[in-house]
Amino acid sequence: MRVLVTGAAGMLGHRVVAEARDLGHTAIATDIDDLDLTDDAAVIERVAAESPDAIINCAAYTDVDGAEADPGTALRVNADAALNVALACQSAGAMMVQLSTDYVFSGDADRPYVETDEPAPRTAYGSTKLAGEHAVIGSGADWAICRTAWLYGAGGKNFVDTMLTLAQDHDEVSVVTDQIGSPTWTGHLAPALIEVAERGARGIHHLTGAGQCSWYELAIEVFHTAGVHCRVLPTTSEAYARPAPRPAYSVLAGERDDAIALAPWQQGLAAYLSERVPA
């Protein structure tokens, strides 16, 4: 398979490129320095020249708080650029695999969100990612939308690294107990995205580490697995005022007959820590 990966310099994108090549595929890596996805003509030209079988769109505006202050930029990257890529896919006969997020939901459920649940975003970030979903669906391309959450991995800012960095200078950290989700390692998500493309598995997919926990519980597991001595103190979201509200409950689950199951989040964390090079 010939796959073009956008956002290939990012935390997820570079892992998708590496995993695709390890699996014997031809992976073409692109990022903003060589392809501006908001330039529709440039996208059409590049995709036509590369002639991929699939495009995995890892490019996104992911600054949740920044999107509240600059929703226009977030919309251009998360929706307009996604449409450009999807239209290029449609023209080239390639499959579009679009990354999306738990933030398309309101975050107030009492059970895991499945693919058929109605989105109701509460943030600018979530709204622009949902607009991207709608753009891809309406593009005429063969598409798959893969929602994920609580992502971490090498090559990008993430909660796991933040905790380990804090522990270098602090004997204790305070972490919220009232936000629940499913931590997802890029090393597990990347091959799942490639499998979606390989199978031509159209439609919406929920792809997160199996199981759920709070940020507080995740911090405890991080320190325990890493062998770091740092006490974790419970606190609530009220103590951390942010421009964008965080979902209280953002666990995703798959109800598809052909659902791709990721390993339990604890396994992903252990694997990440075993390959992580300390900063």
* Residue at 278 is within a domain: no
The answer to the question of residue 270 being in a domain is no
Number of helices (H), then strands (E), in the chain = 10, 12
Range of the domain at 109: 2-151+184-210+252-262
Backbone angles phi and psi of 111, in degrees to 5? -150, 160
> Cα-flanking dihedrals φ and ψ of residue 237, to 5°?
-60, -25
CA–CA dist 277, 42 (Å, integer): 37
CA 229 to chain centre: 30
Q: Is 125 a catalytic residue?
A: yes
Examine the pLDDT at 227 and tell me if it is beyond 60.
yes
| Cα gap 237→246, rounded to integer Å | 8
Name the domain count of the chain: 1
Residue 273 forms part of a structural domain: no
Quote the CA–CA distance of 250 and 228 in Å, as a whole number.
28
- The catalytically annotated residue of 125, 152, 216, 272 is 125
Which three-class secondary structure state does DSSP give residue 185? strand
Q: What is the pLDDT of residues 165-221, one digit of tens each?
A: 999 999 999 999 999 999 999 999 999 999 999 999 999 999 999 999 999 999 999
For residue 150, how far is the Cα from the chain centroid? 8
Cα–Cα distances (Å) from 172 to 91, 241, 258, in that order, read 54, 20, 43
pLDDT of residue 241: 84
Is 256 part of a structural domain of the chain? yes
